[in-house]
Structure 1
């Protein structure tokens, strides 16, 4: 079962804090340790411990060195190490996306090509453990839809390898561009690794989204700050797709019209709940279309990618919408000597809609050399004769139509 997760980073975020929160929410410590061992065998130990922060329980994770010396790793070598590690594909892809974000930010901050970003920026053993651990924990928890609220960055100054720097440090400021942020308190509350994890893996969601909440994990930072819990919280649950969806929209005026049926079909194959076109007039009176895609939150990123892949658009706008759906199932009726599926929409044990399945009706019409409208009319009459009427009790239904 896929899950949704929302990260409360109002107290800041660091890689070890996010890892601790996911472990506290139920991720397997053994799976996390095994994943890290695949990448840097024998270099680290991951040790969880229960702590309190501002009087509240939390889990802290210590990432301890288990080696006398750690290899120097520049970004090209680290990338090759991660690509060749025996990680599940989704874990590997997430890890690479996080370190790519981190390397890009460090390259911009230091004014060097990305291939020249070196050890202390992205290759340190504790950052590898944090990133691989978080991505493995998300995989173990089957989180397919990750979101995060505004991030507390902190304030003041902090001592670094580059000297005394203002908070947020330059890499964090670079990574946070485009996100909702707040100071949140004194000191460094967000680290480059924590920000890279959120910006690479989590879409921005200011408030806790609708979900069937299963449990909450609380991950602690190293300091216990009086009056402010130094923690990250993760809310984990089943995606509430019935209650909410995304509408993705884009205006297109330069796509060959013959391509639109294939575009809509590809979006439905990628998991869209619906996809449709609206004719419009754009600037200078140019005829165009608005492509609209109704997307489950868990499939939104894949559907965004498909819109960019299959159309000529340069941007997508989106909004969240509430959604009320009927329960549904399938039965069949005898139509012209053939059993034809009838889709039943019902609520409160009563039929609301009864509709012949179009694809089967079209095949029956083609096989018998009949007009499709005649087959659909016969199917509606058969459903009526079988008592499949609005207001009638719901019969025994199958969850899916026959093949």
Structure 2
């Protein structure tokens, strides 16, 4: 599934989280992910609100701690690394916070490791970042794009005094991304429309995939997430659109290389790096090369837009002197996610359908492994109970 983020009215972490919950992400499962990072500290509550005639989900984040401490980047990194999270959720959340830390460090002229996050390190922002990353995973999203980001304009009062809009951290995070000021008809001054957390999430999730309108494909879900402001003349919402993209022969490429001289212990890291670079799938095939030498073909399947990064990864992470690539076609089942509860442990289940008929159900193995650890039983036993 493909997620398109409409940030043309601005974006904040809680708004993006609300839009994904409105589009179908399970609030209870998101709460469990947040609890894994900050146990007993944060509670999420959803409310249906109206913004300029538009119904939307507003997420309220309640701190259960009277005086939450300010945290620096290294502290938040440790919290995320030690939490029982899905690898995809952890990886994305770490990168989002790293983006914010780099922007804040540049703004204040200090070392990244020493950045104190203030509002960004507060529990509500941890909830927004972890919540959004987990919601994207729960929705089965495998690619993301986003619109222009409305940043706002004017001046606001912040923790460091009077500041221009967009604030310095937002401006740095938005570098290289198409943006607009978000002015309303008649020249009304909107003030701040985007937060560091919101912009960092868009930039990390979407990468370089800027798409002005809803991408081509079959719309599967749409969600609206409300901000706290009421803006006369425009609904203060982020829109999340889930699309099943229709692939054509030219949209997917298979990139390959034959390699006979790489330490086999490195292959798991190579496959992980290819997926990190944007490959939709990566795998190895054992082969026999000239002179009877055993070897492997490493394959990566990716969109054309990700091909440069995937090729670069192969050159940098393997011993190959060249790669080959060619267009491929594929046909996929309609995918959705269900959930079962095994002895109090939530297990996501990927469902594959065709023409409305369910053909396949498979539990997410990361959830199975986590449940096995929590319950002190084998992974095989958890699989048996899930089925």
TM-score band by shorter chain is 0.5 to 0.7
Gapped regions of structure 2 (runs ≥ 5): 184-189, 261-269, 283-298, 318-326, 333-387
**1:132 match:** 130
3-state SS, counterpart of residue 36 of structure 1: helix
Question: Residue 16 of structure 1 is aligned with which of 7, 14, 17?
Answer: 14
Q: Do residues 245 (structure 1) and 251 (structure 2) align?
A: yes
Offset of residue 310 of structure 1: 2.2
Cα distance in 1, alignment partners of residues 34 and 118 from structure 2: 19
Pairing 1:87-236 to 2, within 5 Å after superposition: 87-120=85-118, 122-185=120-183, 186-203=190-207, 204-207=209-212, 208-236=214-242
Question: Residue 310 of structure 1 is aligned with which of 311, 314, 322?
Answer: 314
Pairing 1:335-374 to 2, within 5 Å after superposition: none
Q: CA RMSD in A?
A: 3.1
Q: Which has the larger radius of gyration?
A: 1
Offset of residue 306 of structure 1: 3.1
On the 8 A contact 2:254/2:302 being kept in 1, the answer is no
Cα distance in 2, alignment partners of residues 137 and 210 from structure 1: 22
On the 8 A contact 1:106/1:121 being kept in 2, the answer is no
TM-score (norm 1): 0.65
Cα distance in 2, alignment partners of residues 171 and 209 from structure 1: 29
On the 8 A contact 1:13/1:194 being kept in 2, the answer is yes
Cα distance in 2, alignment partners of residues 80 and 49 from structure 1: 32
Offset of residue 224 of structure 1: 1.6
3-state SS, counterpart of residue 156 of structure 1: strand
3-state SS, counterpart of residue 142 of structure 2: strand
**1:56 match:** 54
Offset of residue 247 of structure 1: 7.0
3-state SS, counterpart of residue 5 of structure 2: strand
Cα distance in 1, alignment partners of residues 20 and 107 from structure 2: 30
**1:42 match:** 40
Cα deviation digits, residues 65-115 of structure 1 (max 9, x gap) = 111121331111111111100101111001001001111111111110001
Offset of residue 206 of structure 1: 2.5
Pairing 1:374-393 to 2, within 5 Å after superposition: none
Offset of residue 240 of structure 1: 1.9
Cα deviation digits, residues 186-223 of structure 1 (max 9, x gap) = 11000000001011111332332212211100001101
3-state SS, counterpart of residue 118 of structure 2: helix
**1:354 match:** none
CA 1:326–1:54 in structure 2 vs 1: closer, same or farther (change >3 Å)?
closer
Cα distance in 2, alignment partners of residues 294 and 142 from structure 1: 20
Cα distance in 2, alignment partners of residues 244 and 62 from structure 1: 43
